[in-house]
């Protein structure tokens, strides 16, 4: 499992909107009916399948998992933020390694 998961449904317009507005290459996109999506939802305490879709789950930068359900714009902002943060970290990897030696 990637550390960022987007649970969607093909008939969900909000889900399709989110997927069309972010780079999902670092996000695992799963259909809500898939066994893997159901297992992930159970693992993070998202038991109600009728929650508003899409559902974004991330434990990449937090000790506790972040779960956002049904809030398309907030999900888009969060995915863009994490993608930008990862790019910044990657671009400054050498600097961060030098600082860690101090």
In this predicted model, what pLDDT tens digit does every residue of 28-57 receive, in sequence order? 999 988 999 988 888 888 876 556 889 898
> According to the model, what pLDDT value does residue 89 have?
84
Domain ranges of the chain: 4-101
Query: If one looks up domain 4-101 in CATH, what number appears?
Result: 3.40.30.10
Q: Residue 102: its pLDDT value, please?
A: 72
Q: Which long-range contacts (CB under 8 A, 24 or more apart) does 71-77 make?
A: 72/14, 72/17, 72/18, 75/6, 75/18, 76/18, 76/21, 76/22
Q: Looking at 15-19, 85-89, 98-102, which range is the least confident one? A: 98-102
In the predicted model, is pLDDT for residue 23 greater than 70?
yes
pLDDT for 2? 65
Cα-based distances in Å from 88 to 35, 63, 81:
34, 20, 10
């Amino acid at each position: 499992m990637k550390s960022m998961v987007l649970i969607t449904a093909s008939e969900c317009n909000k889900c399709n909107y989110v997927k069309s507005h972010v780079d999902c290459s670092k996000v695992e996109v799963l259909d809500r009916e898939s066994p893997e999506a159901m297992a992930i939802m159970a693992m993070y305490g998202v038991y109600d399948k009728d929650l508003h879709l899409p559902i974004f789950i991330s434990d990449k930068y937090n000790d506790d998992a972040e779960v956002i359900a049904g809030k398309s714009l907030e999900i888009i902002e969060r995915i863009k933020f994490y993608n930008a943060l990862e790019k910044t970290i990657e671009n400054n990897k050498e600097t961060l390694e030098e600082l860690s030696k101090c």
